[in-house]
Amino acid sequence: FRSNLGFPRIGPRRELKRALEQFWAGRISADELLGAGKELRRQAWQWQAEAGISHIPSNDFSLYDHVLDTSLVVGAVPNRFQSAKPGLEAYFAMARGVQEGHGPGCCGNGNGHPSAALEMTKWFDTNYHYLVPELEPDQTFALRSTKPVDEFMEAQALGIHTRPVLVGPVTYLRLAKSRTSGFRPLELLGGLLDVYEELLRRLADAGADWIQMDEPSLAVDLELAERDAFLDAYGRLASASPLKLLVASYFGALRDNLETALALPVQAMHVDMVRGRSELDTILQTLPAGKLLSLGVINGRNVWRTDLADAVATVRHAVEALGANRVMVGPSCSLLHCPVDLGGEAGLDAELRSWLAFARQKIDEIGLVAAAVNSDDGPSAAPTQEAFAENARAIASRRASPRTRDPGVQARAKAVDAAMLRRRSAFTARRALQRKATPLPLLPTTTIGSFPQTREIRHARAMFKRGELSREAYDDFLGEQITEVVKFQEECGLDVLVHGEAERNDMVEYFGEALEGIAVTAGGWVQSYGSRCVKPPIIYGDVTRPAPMTVRWIRHAMQGTAKPVKGMLTGPVTILCWSFVRDDQPRSDTCRQLALAIRDEVADLEAAGVGMIQIDEPAFREGLPLRRDQWAEYFRWAVDGFRLAASGVSDATQIHTHMCYSEFNNIIDSIAAMDADVISIETSRSNMELLDAFVRFEYPNEIGPGVYDIHSPRVPTTESMIQLLRKALEVLRPEQIWVNPDCGLKTRQWDEVRPALTNMVAAARAVREELANA
Ligand code: GLN
Ligand code: ZN
């Protein structure tokens, strides 16, 4: 059986994004939006059918998010959305909130606002974000949307028989949140299963024979009660279901959940053979007789071509134990996390392209692996043999290529010693030198780096990329932009200025373009959430920095002011987490190479007279492995990576870092171990409560708790920021505190940023005065 677990929804050219944005802007009708979705589904099914996939997923499509879809199917719509018209209006209200609800005195984006969107958070350890179901103890469920049935029938009408996919009931409840303290949504399992049962009946009536239940929670740390919930849920569903059930675990090995997973009384179990290959033998020994095993041998999380010979060997091994009719071949997880089609990447050189496979290519790989195993009994078709030979050549070329290996980088990485991971002196000593080098008032004001990326900036960049603007003209344009931004900051009275990042399309891609060993694609988009997509660079080889990447623009900014300008870099952990990484060496090695490149940039900035350098690490927390017992190892190399990047400077040079979130409770000791002189974090929305971790830990270095919520179009008043600063002063020493927004300003408009920062400076001045008079 050739099986797929899910296909990207955005379309090869982000058609879904365009359609959504046009619909939200009122330029296309609901019917046109739905029509665009229908066309995307048709295309995906068609491609999969052509590739010979026998288990093609349906209901893997979503206009925004599949967890939100599930909430609508089971009728889990929080009260504050009950007034919205059911259908698209309610759907997008839950996804994005209702802007019209905002007025003066309203809370902005915070939870509890009548029109606030559902909270959004990361889907396991991917960069996909889902909308968190909100469930209260009195929640009842009912089948409120027939989307899974409709899409199944839609495919039937096209002559394509599909296997509908649902978020499994246990994973759904585990991902849910409740405002009622002490209440665990898992308690609602019984009622939820009633709805799943009804849905399964409807799907059977429509002609479905298999259903796929996604239960990635089987790859994370579970409590006993949660394991029991799995047994309960599938015990019930299996006895009631007219359909054959495939339970899909992915994103990791099963480990201590293996016994539970294999004991589920379902017809088939899917396992992740990319991250959990070592478990195959145990699984083969314990799999109950008669149960099918779906092997995820094609990596759904990365862009590398599969070593087909190796995948075939894995599948053959299972076939020998179980027989061919009990084994399915598929991707490790849904292909949602891969770009759609390599076909559009004319800009990549032929060799690099031959190493890659996006979703469409992975579908073909599934077919090839299955064909090779099936043909064991007979002679294999010539095209298959040819494809295998070509695959073997590509794998060999990647392995042997001098482009992936740079002996100089490897020697340098090996030679990293403890001294390179340490600043020369401890923080207190450094602080004195830094203040002498750059005198600053109490509560210094600054920003996080970017200023509005205006239409003008994006337009100029697009022209430059299309070759319609010369390098020289583009550089002149950027120089003018930077001069303007510096002038504004001077006028508004900020203490530490930035250059504004006008030259950067994206904080990771910019460095991906400048570093060697990293490729950027033209259209390798992956959904991040809703209509938002990201285009992760591809780290394919040892990383080197052929030339300084940022010095020129920081210098340009410094020429326009006598005030200190903060250099701006993206940290090694964040570049790693937001890229597709090589699979031929540990992530920690790649991180170290990136760190060395950033370290060199830091040194060049320092040599250019830049006394403050910010190394952004917004992805630091999200790099955490799913399993708790792997955290310590991650922290070790991630903290070392940052320190390696940051520690090459003299004591007088001040290192800043930035993380745009505020949950530091489990990780505060590692944050402290990074030993940045200053860290800026997001706190404005939580009213400074999220400083807690820093206070309890007695965080020694300086902190800039964000006082301006840049995720909201609202301009914060001086008074509101004074309040936040007073709150911060209740728990932190005045000499510790910086005054800054929550994050970069690139998504904001100038008419918001101008008054907001003016107010912020006024707030800092007012509080300074209070301190002086106290
Ligand atoms: N320096 C970056 C900016 O201001 C930081 C962005 C981020 O943390 N995501 O845009
Ligand atoms: Zn940020």
Q: How many CB atoms lie within 10 A of CB 480?
A: 12
**Res. 378 pLDDT band, cuts 50 70 90:** low
Active site residue 711: yes
Q: What's residue 101's pLDDT? A: 42
Average pLDDT of the segment spanning 422-436: 98
Cα dist from 90 to 81, 130, 434, 591, whole Å: 6, 17, 53, 43
Q: Which tokens sit at 336?
A: 């949602």
Q: What's residue 695's pLDDT? A: 86
- Render pLDDT for 620-651 as a digit per residue (tens, 0 to 9): 999 999 999 999 999 999 999 999 999 999 99
CB 165 within 8 A of CB 5: yes
Task: Give the closest residue (by CA) to ligand 1 atom 1.
Answer: 449
Pocket of ligand 1 (CB under 6 A): 448-450, 501, 507, 568, 616, 618, 658, 660, 743-744, 746
Q: How many CB atoms lie within 10 A of CB 318?
A: 26
Window from 143-147, 415-419, 561-565, 659-663 with minimum mean pLDDT? 659-663
Q: Which tokens sit at 115?
A: 């029109």
Task: Give the closest residue (by CA) to ligand 1 atom 6.
Answer: 744
Among 507, 574, 661, which is best to mutate for testing ligand 1, by the most ligand atoms less than 8 A from CB?
A: 507
Q: What's residue 681's pLDDT? A: 93
More confident residue, 362 or 98: 362
- Measured at the alpha carbon of residue 469, what is the angle toward residues 466 and 470, in degrees to the nearest 5? 115
Q: What is the mean pLDDT of the chain?
A: 94
Q: Residues with Cβ < 8 Å from 150, sequence gap 6 or more?
A: none
Average pLDDT of the segment spanning 485-505: 98
Q: How many CB atoms lie within 10 A of CB 231?
A: 14
- Centroid of ligand 2 to alpha carbon of 745 (angstroms): 9
Task: Give the closest residue (by CA) to ligand 1 atom 5.
Answer: 744
- Torsion angles phi and psi, residue 214, rounded to 5: -80, 115
CB 24 within 8 A of CB 130: no
Q: What's residue 663's pLDDT? A: 81
Q: How many CB atoms lie within 10 A of CB 343?
A: 12
Q: Which tokens sit at 223?
A: 């409590």
CA nearest neighbour of 174 among 102, 111, 123: 123
Q: What's residue 684's pLDDT? A: 77
Q: Which tokens sit at 426?
A: 């401890």
C-alpha span between 765 and 680 (Å, rounded): 19
C-alpha span between 232 and 659 (Å, rounded): 41
CA nearest neighbour of 558 among 513, 515, 606: 606
C-alpha span between 69 and 61 (Å, rounded): 10
Task: Give the closest residue (by CA) to ligand 1 atom 8.
Answer: 618
Amino acid identity for residue 714 in this structure: R
- Measured at the alpha carbon of residue 315, what is the angle toward residues 309 and 319, in degrees to the nearest 5? 135
- Centroid of ligand 2 to alpha carbon of 478 (angstroms): 23
**Res. 99 pLDDT band, cuts 50 70 90:** low
- Render pLDDT for 556-614 as a digit per residue (tens, 0 to 9): 999 999 999 999 999 999 999 999 999 999 999 999 999 999 999 999 999 999 999 99
Q: Which tokens sit at 119?
A: 């909270």
Q: Residues with Cβ < 8 Å from 185, sequence gap 6 or more?
A: 133, 135, 139, 173, 174, 176, 177, 178
- Render pLDDT for 105-164 as a digit per residue (tens, 0 to 9): 333 444 444 468 899 899 999 999 999 999 999 999 999 999 999 999 999 999 999 999
CA nearest neighbour of 110 among 687, 715, 740, 681: 687
Which atom in ligand 1 lies closest to the alpha carbon of residue 614?
1
Q: Which of 66, 129, 161, 711 is catalytic?
A: 711
CB 160 within 8 A of CB 211: no
C-alpha span between 622 and 528 (Å, rounded): 14
Q: What's residue 268's pLDDT? A: 98
Helix (H) or strand (E) holding 1: none
- Render pLDDT for 255-281 as a digit per residue (tens, 0 to 9): 999 999 999 999 999 999 999 999 999
